[in-house]
Amino acid sequence: MFPLRTLALGALLLPLAAYANDPYSYAQPDAVRVTHLDLKLAIDFPHRKLEGLATLTLAWTDPKAPALVLDTRDLSIASVESVDAHGKATALKYALAPRDKQLGSKLTIQAPQHPQRVRIVYTTSPNASGLQWLPPAQTADKKQPFMFSQSESIHARSWVPLQDSPAIRFTYTAQVIAPNDTRVVMSAPNDPTHSLNGHFSFDQTHPIPSYLLAIAAGNLAVKQTGPRSAVYAEPSVVAKAAHEFEDTEKMIQTAEKLYGPYRWGRYDILVLPPSFPYGGMENPNMTFATPTVLVGDKSLVSLVAHELAHSWSGNLVTAASWRDIWLNEGVTTYVQGRITEALYGKRQADEEALLDIHSLQRGVGTMPENAQRLAPRPGNIDADDTLSDVAYTKGSWFLRTLEQRFGRETFDNYLKGYFDHFAFQSITTEQMLDYLKPNLIDKYPGKMSWNEVQDWVYGTGIPAHAPIPDSPRFDTIDKERTAFLAGTLKAGKLDAKDWNTQEWMYFLDGLPDTPPLATMQQLDAAWHLTGTPNAEIGMRWYVHAIAAGDKATWPAAAEHMTRIGRLYLTLPVYRALSKTPDGLAFAKQVYAKAKNGYHPLTQQAVETLFAKAGKH
């Protein structure tokens, strides 16, 4: 344990607005804030739990505050103590409130003497929402069990008692005990040469929010991809992953040229088992990535560009609440596009942007008005639900509009200054706008009105005249799709031999919601889409084939749903099946076999879908 760090102290100087009470957290940061976490963990694979000791270093700001309030979910608390400067421990009274379905249980620790450090001994639940435990059979190599965390949005509280709000940043150290031959990694600098002796230590010297606290442990091999990057994955996967991600150093250098130095030291990538529910998670120093991007042609490595971009937007400058999450995801998606364009060309960057834009255009009108806003008004929105197409696509579209109006060079300089100005801080939408107005809008008058800015951020839908990239390839695909659906162009005559992943995605996205069965059978016969190893193409294909009534594709769809735990690529297939009684029954059979391989978040999403389908 060591005292407050310089960076942590710097974080204390944030404006009070950044610490506004978070509706998704019980914490009271206007009274006291955690500035450092010293964590000791023992991994118990047989019982699917972590045994933990968390020592929190505190900064008290309200002299009258009677208690420290923390977020927990399904933790068993064994003891709570204050620890003085000499290491003397004194028991503290505490109360664990009844469990709230969304927020978990409030832990109130009586601390009228305002101790600098509080130590909590606890154990996690086998069903912790932020952890997944996989038996050997559910890993790629089927040799050792595997465990990994997913703390975003508010799941860190299920494996560490803390102030689980993005407004609160802290440094951390960790000591982890694991079985021999198991490698442990965390969201801190990792040593690729570390011996597998069962003892691992980590030191995150930069203050991070709780949702970026991460851990994984299992049978992991390491392969360097650059002077400051490596890929971690199961032995059978690591070489393929290293090849797919061999441009990582080029990505880092590209981002640095645009937006300033990479400030985190190492940038490593952990390829998780297929049950990982998201495409990637931007944990500092150690991005967690889905294996579904390993398609062999680098066509999906924009996911790495996205998670790397978070090293500036999200990890360096963080949204202060989930209501402001577009500051993370929208800015990151814009930066991702710039990295992709620089390395893989404007065609791929524009195609990816257009796919996002068309997806948002299809869905935004069906959303509640408040969900269409970049900065929603206070309301009953689940923290996980804030991570929608609006945050990602409308947010990045807003930044592309700013780039178009002010010019790329001017906007690049502005964005670099923004990252420098708010480095290692958590900010609100309003703080971002207070910086935007004098440093871009007013500095270059006549380019964009403040009313337009307000419309983008607080308005519903998509503002008129939002710029849309051109894609001659997509235009050609539109014509071919139209001719194919009209019956004037046979499936085998589609000029699709050289289509990349994005172009197949676009073709399939443009098919009717319920296409004719014969049309889909002709397409499959020509291009063999059933059984494709490319999950992006597969998800779209199965959704349309199921809608067309092609039961011959169901076994392959089931294999897709069982093999992949990524929500975005699995849930749409469950949804397509659930629209008919026979399909719903089949989907339930698939789920019964696949459930134990899914992350708790995926399980919750599928079961919610079934519950809704059963009511119709």
pLDDT score, position 587 = 98
Tokens of 254: 């590209």
pLDDT above 90: residue 9: no
pLDDT band at 7 (very low <50, low <70, confident <90, very high): very low
Q: Residues 144-174: pLDDT tens digits?
A: 999 999 999 999 999 999 999 999 999 999 9
Percentage with pLDDT > 70 across the chain: 95
Q: Residues 513-532: pLDDT tens digits?
A: 999 999 999 999 999 999 99
Closest CA to 151 of 102, 210, 74, 75: 210
pLDDT band at 28 (very low <50, low <70, confident <90, very high): very high
User: Is 243 part of any known ligand binding site?
Assistant: no
User: Mean pLDDT, to the nearest integer, of 217-232?
Assistant: 97
Catalytic site includes residue 307: yes
User: Mean pLDDT, to the nearest integer, of 404-412?
Assistant: 98
Count Cβ neighbours within 10 Å for each residue of 230-240 and write b for 16 or more, e otherwise: bbbbbeebbeb
Tokens of 82: 């204050």
Q: Which member of 81, 307, 452, 503 is catalytic?
A: 307
Q: Which of 62-71, 386-395, 462-471, 553-562 has the lowest mean pLDDT?
A: 386-395
Rounded CA-CA distance 333/356 in Å is: 10
User: Mean pLDDT, to the nearest integer, of 178-194?
Assistant: 97
pLDDT band at 386 (very low <50, low <70, confident <90, very high): low
For residues 388 and 121, the model is more confident at: 121
pLDDT above 90: residue 3: no
pLDDT above 60: residue 5: no
DSSP, collapsed to helix, strand or coil, labels residue 377 as coil
- Spacing of C-alpha 250 from chain mean position: 22
User: Mean pLDDT, to the nearest integer, of 300-328?
Assistant: 96
pLDDT above 90: residue 384: no
DSSP, collapsed to helix, strand or coil, labels residue 79 as strand
Question: ∠187-188-194 over CA atoms, to 5°?
Answer: 110
pLDDT score, position 388 = 85
Domains of the chain (ranges plus CATH)?
Answer: 1-13+20-209 (2.60.40.1730), 220-311 (3.30.2010.30), 317-458 (1.10.390.10), 472-613 (1.25.40.320)
Burial class (CB in 10 A: 0-12, 13-18, 19+), 57: buried
pLDDT band at 577 (very low <50, low <70, confident <90, very high): very high
pLDDT score, position 16 = 41
481 CB-side CA count, 13 A: 17
pLDDT band at 299 (very low <50, low <70, confident <90, very high): confident
User: Is 329 part of any known ligand binding site?
Assistant: yes
Task: Give the global pTM.
Answer: 0.92
pLDDT above 50: residue 17: no
Rounded CA-CA distance 530/542 in Å is: 8
pLDDT above 90: residue 15: no
CB atoms < 10 A from the CB of 65, how many? Answer: 16
pLDDT above 80: residue 34: yes
pLDDT band at 601 (very low <50, low <70, confident <90, very high): confident
pLDDT score, position 383 = 58
Closest CA to 217 of 38, 1, 39, 41: 41
Place of tokens 């790329």: 408
pLDDT score, position 13 = 35
pLDDT band at 615 (very low <50, low <70, confident <90, very high): confident
β-strand pairing of 169-177 with 32-44:
parallel
Catalytic site includes residue 559: no
326 close to 395: Cβ distance less than 8 angstroms: yes
For residues 429 and 138, the model is more confident at: 429
β-strand pairing of 131-134 with 117-123:
unpaired
pLDDT above 50: residue 495: yes
pLDDT score, position 8 = 28
pLDDT score, position 20 = 55
Tokens of 100: 């709230």
User: Mean pLDDT, to the nearest integer, of 220-226?
Assistant: 97
User: Is 86 part of any known ligand binding site?
Assistant: no
Closest CA to 603 of 146, 211, 147, 129: 129
CA torsion, points 108, 113, 119, 124, in degrees to nearest 10? 0
- The residue count of the chain comes to 616
pLDDT score, position 278 = 86
Q: Residues 187-203: pLDDT tens digits?
A: 999 999 999 999 999 99
Q: Which member of 122, 211, 392, 598 is catalytic?
A: 392
pLDDT score, position 18 = 44
User: Mean pLDDT, to the nearest integer, of 241-248?
Assistant: 96
pLDDT band at 581 (very low <50, low <70, confident <90, very high): very high
Q: Which residues pair with 149 in a beta bridge?
A: 131
User: Mean pLDDT, to the nearest integer, of 218-222?
Assistant: 98
pLDDT score, position 382 = 62
User: Mean pLDDT, to the nearest integer, of 59-75?
Assistant: 97
Closest CA to 250 of 372, 359, 127, 340: 340
Burial class (CB in 10 A: 0-12, 13-18, 19+), 362: exposed
Whether omega before 158 lies within 30 degrees of 0, making that bond cis, reads no
pLDDT band at 387 (very low <50, low <70, confident <90, very high): low
215 CB-side CA count, 13 A: 32
Mean pLDDT of the chain: 94
Long-range contacts of 428-436 (CB under 8 A, 24+ apart): 428/17, 428/18, 428/20, 428/319, 428/320, 428/321, 428/324, 429/323, 429/324, 429/326, 429/327, 429/374, 429/375, 429/457, 430/17, 431/15, 431/17, 431/18, 431/320, 432/324, 432/327, 433/457
pLDDT above 50: residue 597: yes
